[in-house]
């Protein structure tokens, strides 16, 4: 029955024999640094499709395949590489009517639809490609999104700026408290790293007028937490 008490006494003696040293917890200032970089996107992605209605499933499917074939040929003719467009959705759905006398909903036809996602790597061609899609028969132009493909390289520049911002703040605190700023003890990247998303949607009008597209700029953001060693000016 004495063993637990003996172990507790031995543990307490060990703590007394090895006190925590001040060097284990060096004086420090912890500050965050932020940086943002704005850059024009260099990749656009468009969602386009064709939909066809017919009396039978085969008729709807055949008409839809022919319509999408024209769209794909138009993309190829516009200089879009085959690797930059792919089918994103394919469907064939029955269409129901309404029998007012019986309340039944009989199948009155079928709708076939096919959607393709297109990547455009030349921002000057975005509006022209949309016009090409519409002219080729695409009757459903959906979301347009813009991306920065070299975001990682640009974020490296932002990381340097974020650390510089943290140093600037730390020096202010060091001066205000009468200490000298030393070397960084740790650097931790924050959770908000990457593109500040600005959701955008553009639907191309089904008309002959040219489409106007403004890609704008994307903002890349980085935050860091830096812990700096400090010492008193007397040291």
Answering whether pTM is above 0.75, one says no
Location of structure tokens 């600005």: 198
| Domains annotated on the chain, with CATH | 26-40+150-232 (3.30.110.170), 44-147 (3.30.70.2970)
**How large is the average pLDDT for residues 28-51?**
93
The two three-digit tokens of residue 201, written as one number: 């949607």
- Give 57's pLDDT tier (boundaries 50, 70, 90): very high
**How large is the average pLDDT for residues 112-131?**
93
Q: What gap in Å lies between CA 133 and CA 152, rounded to an integer?
A: 32
pLDDT in tens, 64-119: 999 999 999 999 999 999 999 999 999 999 999 887 777 788 889 999 999 999 99
DSSP letter at 125 equals: G
Mean pLDDT of the chain: 82
Closest by CA to 148, choosing from 197, 189, 192, is: 197
- Give 9's pLDDT tier (boundaries 50, 70, 90): very low
């Amino acid at each position: 029955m004495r063993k637990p008490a003996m172990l507790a006494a031995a543990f307490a003696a060990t703590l007394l024999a090895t006190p925590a040293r001040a060097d284990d917890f060096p004086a420090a200032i912890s500050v965050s640094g932020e940086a943002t970089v704005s850059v024009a996107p260099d990749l656009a992605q468009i969602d386009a499709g064709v939909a066809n209605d017919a009396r039978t499933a085969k008729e709807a499917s055949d008409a839809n395949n022919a319509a999408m074939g024209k769209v794909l040929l138009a993309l190829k003719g516009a200089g879009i590489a085959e690797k930059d467009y792919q089918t994103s959705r394919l469907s064939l759905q029955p269409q129901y009517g309404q029998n007012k006398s019986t309340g039944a909903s009989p199948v009155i036809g079928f709708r076939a639809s096919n959607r393709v996602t297109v990547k455009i790597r030349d921002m000057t061609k975005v509006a022209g490609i949309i016009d090409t899609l519409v002219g080729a028969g695409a009757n459903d132009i959906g979301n347009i999104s813009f991306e920065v493909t070299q975001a990682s390289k640009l974020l490296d520049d932002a990381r340097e700026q974020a650390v510089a911002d943290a140093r600037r703040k730390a020096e202010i605190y060091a001066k205000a408290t009468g200490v000298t700023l030393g070397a960084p003890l740790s650097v931790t990247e924050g959770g908000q790293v990457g593109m500040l998303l600005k959701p955008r949607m553009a639907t191309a009008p089904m008309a002959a007028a040219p489409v106007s597209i403004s890609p704008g700029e994307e903002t890349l953001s980085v935050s860091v937490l830096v812990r700096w060693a400090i010492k008193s000016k007397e040291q």
